[in-house]
Amino acid sequence: MKNIVFFFISFLLFSCSDSKSKAEQINDLYKSDLVVLQKEVTQLQRLVENGATQKQLQNQFLKAHQSYKRVESISEYYFPTVSKAINGPALDEYEEDEGITVPPAGLQVIEEYFFPVYDKKSKKEILKEIGILNANLYRLIMISKTNELTDSSVFDAMRLEVFRIITLGITGFDSPIAQNSLTEAKTSLETIEKQLAVYGENEQNSVTLKILKEGKDYLDKNSKFNEFDRAYFIKKYLNPLSKAIYKTQLALKIPFFKESRGLKVTAQTLFDKNAFDTEAFSGFPDYKTTKEKIELGKLLFNDPVLSGNNTRSCASCHYADKAFTDGLEKAVTLDGKQMVKRNTPTLSNIAFQRSFFYDSRVNYLEDQAVAVITNENEMHGSLEKSVFDLKKSEKYAANFDKAFPNKEITAFTIKNALASYIRSLSNYDSRFDGYMRGEENFNLDEIAGFNLFAGKAKCATCHFIPLTNGTVPPNFDRSESEVLGVPGKNKMVDGDFGKFDLTKAEVNRYSFKTPTIRNIALTAPYMHNGIFKTLEEVIDFYDGGGGNGLGFNLPNQTLPIDKLNLTQLEKKQLIAFMKTLTDKRQY
């Protein structure tokens, strides 16, 4: 009956719009939903002004946030900056280009005033935040007036919205306190359903709409956040849905964009074997990876010729059998007299990031290689000296000529060859990937562990699925850092200031880039200082609320300070899942 009503409404809406293209009709729906969103926020403002009850305010906030979900796919696609101001994380952010710290704004900030308990004393602050939100909504409405959609962009936005539901929706990322994520996921699916209905009846679209209906029904019947079976929901409904949207686009002969993106334009699911493009993360055409560059880079990686005294290679601190870590808290310096500043990070799957090192000080793997080679405590080398030495080798001269035809051996060709080899270490083939592709099975503990990872334990709100690092989905265009409050050996917060040493911004004090937890079973000890020897210790740290849970009183901690209240069984299940992230491929 609901389907009949839905299609009848669709008929009424669009029978008088025959002269408009499909994309124009969807644009009209989007603009109409924008007006509804603005009205819901205005109503929220009125309720605050009139002294409404906590329950009334909470319900109205949830209505407003759900209204945002109806515009999210188009808003985020075309206007990501203003969308972030409307529904971004409630955290201060340092703008490096301008050298200023920008306070958060929008729905997630307002959510913290209403949940879990509303304090009437905060009325003035709430009205101020709602005023900022209204200003950003007005801005969004204005810039949307002249924006034109295309069929290709609509389908691209629909698939990205499915990926957003997987990574930011059902994980609770943008409903961190109210935990209304599952209801909002249904609203997102309803919006995709409305958009697809515009394209009319065809065999493939009917399949897609059927998946949508079944997915919504599942959300209706399973509404408890901590008990929700995310593994089943993704495999049964969301992966098939993104595939079906892709096939509908093919059936309608709507072209795909030809552009380089971290998540490929042609990715049917987030878990496709080749969903991510390492070249798109590299930045420049000259950096393009080839088989010959990889082979040369591997030789250089294992050769001490790049170090100042010819005694240390990259492989001296990055062992293949440890996912290219070294098993130490911190590596020993080149002179053997002390330890380097931080724990050796994994190189496996490192290409799928937008910044490198724990303090995010470089943006490209080529620059990372140079920084390590020239660091006096690590390799104390010189690319200029290496160029001179390598030119004397007939073997290297031949390999460089294969990798870089008609080019001399230079600092650039050395660092590009090394980076090309490191990029080749990025290939997702773990049991987790096989499970999400329907090629492998999980036992009950592993399934429960994934559901904890993406739900109650909140791991996936920083270690985003499927990369499990801090590269933010679904555009994967920036890598985030977090303030966790990691302890040192003196039981106080570790004295390494992290990103603060570069930016001098208080918001970055003790801030470190979120690393991948792929291959985590192989990469102990953990954290930037190697303080935790086991995964059990790591989980206990997070379960207790991080540094503030240990009493460090860090005002800028980004990790929620609330205890997770994980049971011993849940901790074991979480570890069981994390062990499925180990790659099968041996390098």
For residues 337, 340, 345 and 347, what is the CA-based torsion angle, rounded to 10 degrees? -70
Query: Strand 511-513 and strand 93-95: pairing?
Result: unpaired
In percent, the amount of the chain with pLDDT more than 70 equals 97
**Same domain for 351 and 308:** yes
When pLDDT is cut at 50, 70 and 90, the band that residue 96 belongs to is: confident
Q: Is the pLDDT of residue 16 over 70?
A: no
The token pair at 378 is 């690590």
Please give the Cα distance from 299 to 316 (Å, whole number): 13
Q: What is the CA radius of gyration of the chain?
A: 25
**Same domain for 162 and 224:** yes
Each residue of 498-514: b (16+ CB within 10 Å) or e? bbbeebebebbbbbbbb
When pLDDT is cut at 50, 70 and 90, the band that residue 216 belongs to is: very high
Query: Peptide bond preceding 487: is omega within 30 degrees of 0, i.e. cis?
Result: no
- Could you tell me if residue 358 is inside a domain? yes
Q: How many CB atoms lie within 10 A of CB 494?
A: 21
Cβ atoms of 297 and 422 closer than 8 Å: yes
Q: How many residues does the chain have?
A: 587
The larger pLDDT score, comparing residue 5 to residue 373, is at 373
Whole-prediction pTM value? Answer: 0.94
Please give the Cα distance from 290 to 295 (Å, whole number): 9
- Could you tell me if residue 351 is inside a domain? yes
The pLDDT value recorded for residue 252 is 95
Among candidate residues 148, 163, 190, the one where a domain is terminated: 148
Please give the Cα distance from 246 to 557 (Å, whole number): 40
Q: Is the pLDDT of residue 2 over 50?
A: no
For residues 190, 195, 197 and 199, what is the CA-based torsion angle, rounded to 10 degrees? -160
**Same domain for 304 and 370:** yes
pLDDT digits (tens, 9 = 90+) for 101-116: 999 999 999 999 999 9
User: If you search the block for the tokens 């979480």, which residue do you land on?
Assistant: 574
Taking the mean position of all CA atoms in its chain, how far away is CA 143? Answer: 27
Transcribe 374-396 into DSSP letters: H-TTTT---HHHHHHHHHT-HHH
**Same domain for 562 and 526:** yes
In percent, the amount of the chain with pLDDT more than 90 equals 91
The pLDDT value recorded for residue 5 is 42
Mean pLDDT of the 355-372 span? 95
* CATH number for position 100: 1.20.120
Where is 298: in which H helix or E strand? helix 291-301
Classified as helix, coil or strand, 525 is: coil
Each residue of 92-117: b (16+ CB within 10 Å) or e? ebbeeeeeeeeebbbbbbbbbbbbee
Q: What phi and psi, each to the nearest 5 degrees, are found at residue 277? A: -110, 105
**Same domain for 138 and 26:** yes
**Same domain for 335 and 459:** no
**Same domain for 135 and 181:** no
- What is the DSSP code (8-state) at residue 304? G
The pLDDT value recorded for residue 575 is 98
When pLDDT is cut at 50, 70 and 90, the band that residue 6 belongs to is: very low
When pLDDT is cut at 50, 70 and 90, the band that residue 585 belongs to is: confident
**Same domain for 456 and 388:** no
Q: Is the pLDDT of residue 9 over 50?
A: no
- Could you tell me if residue 383 is inside a domain? yes
pLDDT digits (tens, 9 = 90+) for 270-326: 999 999 999 998 877 778 899 999 999 999 999 999 999 999 999 999 999 999 999
The pLDDT value recorded for residue 18 is 62
- Could you tell me if residue 308 is inside a domain? yes
- What is the DSSP code (8-state) at residue 583? B
- Could you tell me if residue 4 is inside a domain? no
Enclosing domain of residue 368: 289-423
Please give the Cα distance from 282 to 34 (Å, whole number): 37
**Same domain for 213 and 163:** yes
* CATH number for position 394: 1.10.760.10
Q: Is the pLDDT of residue 10 over 90?
A: no
Among candidate residues 148, 164, 183, the one where a domain is terminated: 148
Q: Is the pLDDT of residue 497 over 90?
A: yes
The pLDDT value recorded for residue 201 is 81
**Same domain for 395 and 521:** no
Q: Is the pLDDT of residue 232 over 50?
A: yes
Strand segments, DSSP code E, in 50-92 are: none
The pLDDT value recorded for residue 17 is 53
- Could you tell me if residue 3 is inside a domain? no
pLDDT digits (tens, 9 = 90+) for 523-577: 999 999 999 999 999 999 999 999 999 999 999 999 999 999 999 999 999 999 9
**Same domain for 575 and 456:** yes
- What is the DSSP code (8-state) at residue 254? P
- Could you tell me if residue 10 is inside a domain? no
The pLDDT value recorded for residue 7 is 53
Among candidate residues 423, 453, 471, the one where a domain is terminated: 423
The contacts found for 184-187 with CB under 8 angstroms, 24 or more apart, are 184/65, 184/66, 184/69, 185/219, 186/216, 186/219, 186/220, 187/66, 187/69, 187/70
User: If you search the block for the tokens 């002269």, which residue do you land on?
Assistant: 19
pLDDT digits (tens, 9 = 90+) for 390-431: 999 999 999 999 999 989 999 999 999 999 999 999 989 999
**Same domain for 465 and 417:** no
The larger pLDDT score, comparing residue 428 to residue 60, is at 60
The larger pLDDT score, comparing residue 73 to residue 585, is at 73
- Could you tell me if residue 503 is inside a domain? yes
Cβ atoms of 554 and 498 closer than 8 Å: no
Classified as helix, coil or strand, 93 is: strand
Q: CA angle, corner 70, sides to 9 and 94, nearest 5? A: 170
Q: Which residues, 6+ apart, have CB-to-CB distance to 180 below 8 Å?
A: 62, 65, 66
**How many domains is the chain partitioned into structurally?**
4
Q: Is the pLDDT of residue 13 over 80?
A: no
Q: CA angle, corner 297, sides to 393 and 472, nearest 5? A: 160
